Amino acid sequence: MIRALPALVLLAAALPCAAHAADAKPALHHYCDDPVYHQLDFWIGDWDTIDMGDHPDGKGPSIAHAVITPVVDGCALHEKYEQTDGLIGESYSLYVASRKIWHQSWVNNGGGLWLQEGNFDGHGVLTLTATTISKDGSEVHHKITWAKQGDGVRETSVASKDGGKTWAPEFDCLFVKHGTAQKD
């Protein structure tokens, strides 16, 4: 049996004479056409990344090249993030219809894994939260937001190690069209 939606599995199991999936004509998939899946599409693009902590006016050199592309017929966004200091990260972001939330899975070349969940507010700002565990077993909470800003996208993170009582800035960056950041 091949990997299938349960409905297809049941069909295949119930109707042994049905055409094998491999023989079926590839169908166009529009499962994720609803606008709810596309609220984060403003992040799609080829971006330079400005460190807003160092350059609050948004005018500075790029500290990372980030490419965000739609994948799986628009059901998710793939991010490839390459920071000039060697950090490389990749993520999927998507709307999870069954739970009415947004999810992001992020991995990086330090062995880090962040699983983040959250939602859009009424103003087009997505906030995801993640909990990571330190080596000593303590939890760190992260709150990351994405918002359209001018022609770019602002991504900001704060972190708390006291269960959410106090938050400290973690990163704050502005994505601008690739090639438009100031040269070093």
Residues 12-31 that bind other proteins (CB under 8 A): 20-22, 24, 26-29, 31
Round to whole Å and give the CA distance between 106 and 22.
Answer: 32
Could you tell me if 80 and 93 are in contact, meaning their C-beta atoms sit under 8 angstroms apart?
no
Round to whole Å and give the CA distance between 150 and 48.
Answer: 14
Residue type, 40: L
Round to whole Å and give the CA distance between 69 and 87.
Answer: 19
Query: Quick one: 46 or 97, whose CB is closer to other proteins?
Result: 97
The interface with other proteins within residues 67-106 (CB under 8 A) comprises 71-76, 78, 81, 83, 85-92, 94, 96-99, 103, 105
CB of 113 to other proteins, least distance (A): 5
Using CB under 8 A as the binding rule, whether residue 110 contacts other proteins is answered as yes
Considering only 46-54, 121-129, 146-154, 174-182, which stretch makes contact with other proteins by CB under 8 A?
Answer: 46-54
Residue 61 per-residue DSSP state: B
CB of 124 to other proteins, least distance (A): 21
Using CB under 8 A as the binding rule, whether residue 11 contacts other proteins is answered as no
CB of 45 to other proteins, least distance (A): 17
Q: In sequence order, what E strands does 37-165 have?
A: 45-51, 62-71, 76-83, 88-96, 101-108, 113-120, 126-133, 139-149, 152-160
The interface with other proteins within residues 134-163 (CB under 8 A) comprises 134-136, 138, 140, 155, 157, 159, 161
Query: Quick one: 98 or 123, whose CB is closer to other proteins?
Result: 98
CB of 148 to other proteins, least distance (A): 19
Instruction: For residue 90, give the nearest of 55, 73, 66, 74 by alpha carbon.
Output: 66
Which residues have C-beta within 8 Å of that of residue 164, sequence separation ≥ 6? 141
Query: Quick one: 92 or 120, whose CB is closer to other proteins?
Result: 92
Query: Quick one: 68 or 157, whose CB is closer to other proteins?
Result: 157
Using CB under 8 A as the binding rule, whether residue 165 contacts other proteins is answered as no
